[in-house]
Every structure is written in structure tokens, then in C-alpha cells.
Chains A and B, each alone.
Chain A
């Protein structure tokens, strides 16, 4: 079983829709949770960073962490064509900078 599971299936949504992405993990030692956005042929760009259970909002983006269920989510409201990218969840343990990544979700927002 991989440490981090992210269903890599592509996701196509119409402009303005809500995009919902999620990851599950098996290692309860993970304390820090991140979402990265990666455009084609570019490096990952940090979108959201959380370290506790609950919600964190930043503009159109909301990250949720449920440590009891080992489940994290990212919601994108009012999606735009510029949101078309691959979204990667990542997490790390306390005292350790090594990131474990999900496989990524390719999101396409159709105008």
C-alpha cells in the first residue's frame, strides 16, 4: 500500500464549477499537508499548506484535513480555465522535510 493515495483520473469541469480533489494516507505520523499545482512542463507550485485538522481557506481554494480519517481534500470554487493543471497532494512528518506525494490529478476547466 502506498503511503499516499490519490486517484490519478483526469477531471474535466465547466468553467465556474467547483473542483473537488482528495487524497488518503496510511501513515499517521504525517503532520503537515500540502497541495501543489503543476502546469505542464513546469515545477510544482505550493497552493495550500496546513498542519492541523480542519479547514483552511485562501481565496477560491479551501483545504480540508481530517486526521482521524487520514483524508485530505482541496476544493476550488468558481473554477477558471487558468486552473487547468495537475494538482498534487503532499505530506510530511514532524521533524522531517521529506515529502510523500500522491500521483496527481489532471484538472481541465472547459470555458
Chain B
């Protein structure tokens, strides 16, 4: 069974640009969450999608957005990139997302903003 797949794995962007990251959850999983990981703040929750609807949102500015498609694949977008957005962005998937699910993470997308 394939795991959570994230693309691209590595990317470099310039301040002010925007970026789109993609995530394919484990087959059959309907909940997709996104996290940002930095050395200073650790892993922080961005948002969760279930059945194409955002169900939970973390404490990030509106520049961070996401969506989920009917096949459960998800994308997140960061607009007007800042240097502080340099981080590992992790996607996680689970079956139902009701709490108590086993949550699996992808390998992440490493974003460097210069």
C-alpha cells in the first residue's frame, strides 16, 4: 500500500512569489492535514480537509491556504512568500479524521525562500 506522497520534495522560491505543494493521501483516507515544521517552532498545524471541506484551521495568516479534491488529493498554497516561510511542509492522512485515527505523514516538501 503506497504511503502519503508529497511533491515536490525540494524547492527554492524568491520572496514575494507563491508556491503550491501537493499531497496524495493513502488510498481510502479521506482526511488530509498540513503541518509546518521549523527548528524554532517545531511542528505546527496548518489546516485539515475532509471531503473537500476545511474542517480545522491553525493559527497561520491568510497567505496560507489549501484545498482538497474529490479524490482526496490536497494542495496547499502560500502566497507572497516571506523568508520565515522556509520550512518543511508535511502532509498527513487518516481514514476519517474524527480523532483517534492513526495519522500517517508524508516525507514532506522542503521549501527554501531566498
Contact = CB atoms under 8 A, between A and B. Distances in A.
B-side binding surface: helix, strand, loop or mixed? strand
Interface residues of B, number: 28
A31 to B, nearest CB: 7
A43 B108 contact: yes
A49 B102 contact: yes
Interface stretch (B11-19, B41-49, B66-74): B41-49
Interface stretch (A12-20, A65-73, A77-85, A96-104): A96-104
A54 interface: no
B33 interface: yes
Interface string B73-114: 000000000000000001010100111111111111010000
Contact of A45 (B31, B48, B99, B105): B105
A94 B90 CA distance: 22
B56 interface: yes
Interface in A40-65: 41-46, 49, 51
A97 B102 contact: no
Interface of A: 31-32, 34, 36, 41-46, 49, 51, 88, 90, 92-104
23 contacts: A41-B110, A43-B4, A44-B90, A44-B105, A45-B105, A46-B104, A46-B105, A90-B43, A93-B99, A96-B98, A97-B48, A97-B56, A97-B94, A97-B99, A97-B103, A98-B33, A98-B56, A98-B58, A99-B33, A99-B35, A99-B92, A100-B45, A104-B43
